[in-house]
Amino acid sequence: MTTTTTTPPPPLRVGNASGFYGDRFDAMREMLTGGELDVLTGDYLAELTMLILGRDRLKDPAAGYARTFLRQLEDTLGTAHDRGVRIVTNAGGLNPAGLADAVRGLAERLGVPVRVAHVEGDDLTAAHPGTLAAHAYLGGFGIAACLRSGADVVVTGRVTDAALVTGPAAAHFGWGPREYDRLAGAVVAGHVLECGTQATGGNYAFFHEPGKDVRRPGFPLAEIHADGSSVITKHPGTGGFVDIGTVTAQLLYETGGARYAGPDVTARLDTVRLTQDGPDRVRIAGVRGEAPPPTLKVGLNRLGGFRNEVVFVLTGLDIEAKAELVKGQLADALAKDPPAEVRWELARTDRPDADTEETASALLRLVVRDPEERKVGRALSGAAVELALGSYPGFHVVAPPGKGAPYGVFAARYVPQDAVAHTAVLPDGRRVPVPPAADTRVLEEAGAPELPEPLPAGAVRRAPLGSVAGARSGDKGGNANVGVWARSEDGWRWLAHELTVERFRDLLPETRDLPVTRHPLPRLRALNFVVEGILGEGVAAQARFDPQAKALGEWLRSRHLDIPESLL
C-alpha cells in the first residue's frame, strides 16, 4: 500500500515598512534588502490621515492618496521585482485607482514589468452628505483575489489594518471565508505588524533597560503558518528587539474587549498564547475566531469648524495671579464677538528656585473654536499680541499667534455588510465582486474570565505603578484605551485585583466623570481599559493636550500606589 503524505505549504513571510503616513522613508528599502520576504505591507492610513487626504482631494480631485509611497516605490520597485516580493498597501487612501495608475506609470518609466491591481468599494462619501470623506473598513478577501490573479502590487483604500496581512495569508494558503481560527490568527499577526516599530521596541514602556537599544528599531515581520499561527520577528542585524513584552504591548494597542471584530472574522484576544521562540522571536498560537459582525464600520470625517491657540509663558513668582490676569484681559477682548468655545489650561511645568528660566516657567494654553473662521482668526491673534506691553511681568508667548485653521471631526457609523460594493480590480482590468461574509454573528461582550488567586497580603511600599507594569494607550475616535500588563505571574495576581475601575479613576482624575470599562485578558496577564469620550470628537479636533491619548498609559504608570515589596 502506498502512503501519501502532504507537505504543508511553507510559512508566508510578511513584513511591514510603514505604520503611518510619514513613517521612516528608507524602511521599504531596508525591508527589501535586509532578509527574506514574500510580501511587504505598508499601512499609511489613520483617522487623521483620511481627513488630510480629504482636504487634498478638495484641492485636486486626482489627489487623495499617500504620495510618499510612490516616491518610496521609485527607489525600490526594481528590487522588489528582482526578489519576487509582492507589495500590498493601503496608501491608495481616498483614490486607490489613481495610485494604481500612478504605479503603472512609474513601472513603465522604470522599465520594471509589474502587474498592478487595486481594491475599491470602500468610498461611501456620496451616501453621507456633509462629510469630507466616508469610508467603510473592508476585509482582506479583495486583496486575496488580486494576489491570486498574479498581481505584484496591490493598492487599497480603507481596509482594516490587519487586512493587509490576512489578504496575503488567505491567498497563499487558500483559506476560505469560514476558516475563522486561521483568519483570526492572521488578524492578530496583522495587528502586531500594523504599527511598524511599535512591535520591535518603539514606544515601549521598558525601553531603558540594559541591553535594549531602541535608537533605530528595525521593522517587524511575521512568519505565518498554514494553521494561522505565526512568529513575530525582524531582519537580522536591525535595531530594537522582539519579546513577549513588545508583542503584548502592541496587541493591547487601540483594542477593547476580548472580541476584536473585523469584516472577515472576530478574533478572540482572550485565546492568544505568546511564547518566546528564541532571540527576537515570539510565537503567537491558539487564536480562536468567530463569524464577523453583520455590519461594517464606516469612518466619517467632516470639517468641524475653525480653531486657534496661543500658549503664554508665565515665569517665576505669582503664576496663578499672572494666569488670572491674562485670562481676564482676553475675556474682555473677546467679549464683543465671543467664539463658541474658549478653553484655558494651565500646565505647572515650573518649579521653585529653578536654575534655568525654562524650568521656572509654566505654560498657559488658550484654545478657541467656532464654526466661523473670523471669530478665531484676527479676533484672537490680534487681542493676544496687543497685550505684549500691558499684561503680566515677563509676558511672552511660545510662538506668534496664527490666523486659525480648520479642524476635523471623526465619527463611526455602521452599515450592513452587503451595503458595500467590495471590488477587486485585477491587473487585466477585470472587476471581481467580493461577496460579504457568508455567516455573521452579532458582536457581544465576552463573559467575565476567571481571575487568578490574589497575592497574599504582605509588606508594601509606595511606588509608581510602572515599577511593575507596562502600559500602552491610543485613540479610537473620541475614546481612548489603556492596556496595562504585568511582567510576572505574581504581578498579574496583584494587578488583576488591585487595578479596578475605581482605582483607575483615582489614579487618572480626568476619567472620573467618564464611562470606563475594564476588560481582563488573563492569558496576556493584562487589563484593557476603555475610556469613553475623553478625546472629544477625535484626534483631528485636538480637544485635549494629548489628542491621541498616546501618553495616557505613561501617566498611569507614573502614579504612585501601595505595591507589594515582593514585586519590587
Q: How many angstroms separate the Cα of 114 from the Cα of each of 44, 110, 401, 425?
A: 22, 10, 49, 15
Q: What is the pLDDT of residue 2?
A: 56
Task: Read off the pLDDT band of 6 (50, 70, 90).
Answer: confident
- For the stretch 135-167, pLDDT in tens is 999 999 999 999 999 999 999 999 999 999 999
Reading across the β-sheet that carries 12-16, which strands appear in turn?
273-276, 282-285, 230-234, 220-224, 12-16, 39-42, 86-89, 153-155, 116-120, 423-425, 431-433
397 closest CA partner among 306, 307, 309, 308: 309
Longest CA span, the chain: 100
CA distance 28 to 17: 5
Q: What is the pLDDT of residue 544?
A: 78
* Domains of the chain: residue spans and CATH: 12-299+415-433 (no CATH), 302-409 (3.30.70), 460-564 (no CATH)
**Contacting residues for 443 by C-beta, under 8 A, at least 6 apart:** 259, 261, 266, 293
Q: Are 440 and 291 a contacting pair, CB within 8 Å?
A: yes
**Can you give the length of the chain in residues?**
568
- For the stretch 178-211, pLDDT in tens is 999 999 999 999 999 999 999 999 999 999 998 8
pTM: 0.94
Task: Read off the pLDDT band of 378 (50, 70, 90).
Answer: confident
Q: Are 200 and 305 a contacting pair, CB within 8 Å?
A: no
Q: Are 41 and 186 a contacting pair, CB within 8 Å?
A: no
CA distance 13 to 221: 7
Task: Read off the pLDDT band of 26 (50, 70, 90).
Answer: very high
Q: What is the pLDDT of residue 1?
A: 53
Q: Using only C-alpha atoms, what is the Rg of the chain?
A: 25
The 8-class DSSP code of residue 515 comes to -
Give kind and range of the element (H or E) at residue 469. Answer: strand 469-476
Looking at beta carbons, which pairs linking 321-330 to residues 24 or more positions away fall under 8 Å?
321/392, 322/364, 322/392, 322/393, 322/394, 323/362, 323/364, 325/391, 325/392, 326/364, 326/387, 326/391, 326/392, 326/395, 327/364, 329/387, 329/390, 329/391, 330/366, 330/383, 330/384, 330/387
Is residue 317 over pLDDT 80?
A: yes
Task: Read off the pLDDT band of 547 (50, 70, 90).
Answer: confident
Give kind and range of the element (H or E) at residue 329. Answer: helix 319-334
B/e letters for 281-301, b = 16+ CB within 10 Å, e = fewer, are ebbbbbbbbbbbbbbbbbbbb
Q: What is the pLDDT of residue 3?
A: 57
CA distance 120 to 468: 46
Q: What is the pLDDT of residue 4?
A: 57
- For the stretch 268-293, pLDDT in tens is 999 999 999 999 999 999 999 999 99
B/e letters for 430-465, b = 16+ CB within 10 Å, e = fewer, are eebebebbeebeeeeeeeeeeebeebeeeeeeebeb
Unique residue bearing C-alpha cell 517587524: 220
CA distance 60 to 36: 39
Average pLDDT, the chain: 95
Q: Are 193 and 222 a contacting pair, CB within 8 Å?
A: yes
For 129: left if phi > 0, alpha if psi spans -120 to 50, otherwise beta; the answer is beta
Is residue 248 over pLDDT 60?
A: yes
**Interstrand relation of 526-531 and 273-276 (parallel, antiparallel or unpaired):** unpaired
Angle at 526 between CA 511 and CA 255, to 5 degrees: 65
CA distance 36 to 84: 10
- For the stretch 481-503, pLDDT in tens is 999 999 999 999 999 999 999 99
526 closest CA partner among 293, 257, 328: 257
Q: What is the pLDDT of residue 48?
A: 84
Q: What is the pLDDT of residue 466?
A: 97
Helix (H, G, I), strand (E, B), or coil: what is residue 59? helix
E strand spans, 286-427: 288-290, 295-315, 341-347, 361-370, 396-397, 405-416, 423-425
Task: Please name the residue ranges forming H helices in 84-154.
Answer: 96-110, 141-148
